[in-house]
Amino acid sequence: MGQKILVVEDNELNLKLFCDLLRAHGYEAEAVRDGREAVERARAFAPDLVVMDIQMPHVSGLELIERMKADSGLRATPIMAVTAYAAKGDEERIRDAGAEGYVSKPISVLRFVEAVRALLDAAAERAATEREEAGGGEAGASERQFPRESRGPDGNGEGAEEGKADPGLRRDDAGPKDDTS
């Protein structure tokens, strides 16, 4: 199996869709239906990425993101919020809580997979940069941040401009966005 992704989603249909889609693309997906179990499951599963629903019963995804980012063992794990929240300011609140990516529901399958790939690629690049720095290399702070622009299938940004991959998609469905450009 490939990289490990923890999917925290209370809606059974969405959970099945996300897990099936991730598995079809070679990822190992672990499902969590109850947000109250998410942090412990994340510690045990040690995912490379967390896909997090925001609106859940018992505990909000925002609270879970904050808990994971406060946990020394989970802090570096990127989190992609997948939510029906679409009001002005919601994406900013989600990112302020610590999520590196944001995709709105209903999802575009293509954009969902591209956003997952971009976050995993960025995490791998960041880890490589940190290893280099530990060995004495110097990389700028902007190179260590997660990108917020969605990347194309080749990971270099091609096809990421608005409408190139699918002109019918909204910008907030594009996945990670970059405020460093």
Would you say residue 180 lies in a domain? no
Would you say residue 48 lies in a domain? yes
Rounded average pLDDT per 10-residue block, the chain, 181 residues? 92 96 97 96 97 94 96 96 82 93 91 96 90 66 39 38 36 41 38
pLDDT of residue 164: 35
Would you say residue 178 lies in a domain? no
Between CA 11 and CA 18 the distance in angstroms is: 11
Would you say residue 179 lies in a domain? no
- Domain CATH code at residue 52: 3.40.50.2300
DSSP string, the chain: ---EEEEE-S-HHHHHHHHHHHHHTT-EEEEE--GGGHHHHHHHH--SEEEEESS-SSS-HHHHHHHHHHSTTTTTS-EEEEES--STTHHHHHHHHT-SEEEESSPPHHHHHHHHHHHHHHHHHHHHHHHHHHTT----HHHHSPP-S---TTSSSTT-STTTS-TTS-GGGS----S--
Would you say residue 139 lies in a domain? yes
Tokens of 57: 């019963």
pLDDT of residue 135: 78
Would you say residue 146 lies in a domain? yes
Would you say residue 160 lies in a domain? yes
Number of structural domains, the chain? Answer: 1
Would you say residue 181 lies in a domain? no
Instruction: Tell whether pTM > 0.75.
Output: no
Domain residues for 164? 4-173
pLDDT of residue 90: 86
pLDDT of residue 1: 61
pLDDT of residue 136: 59
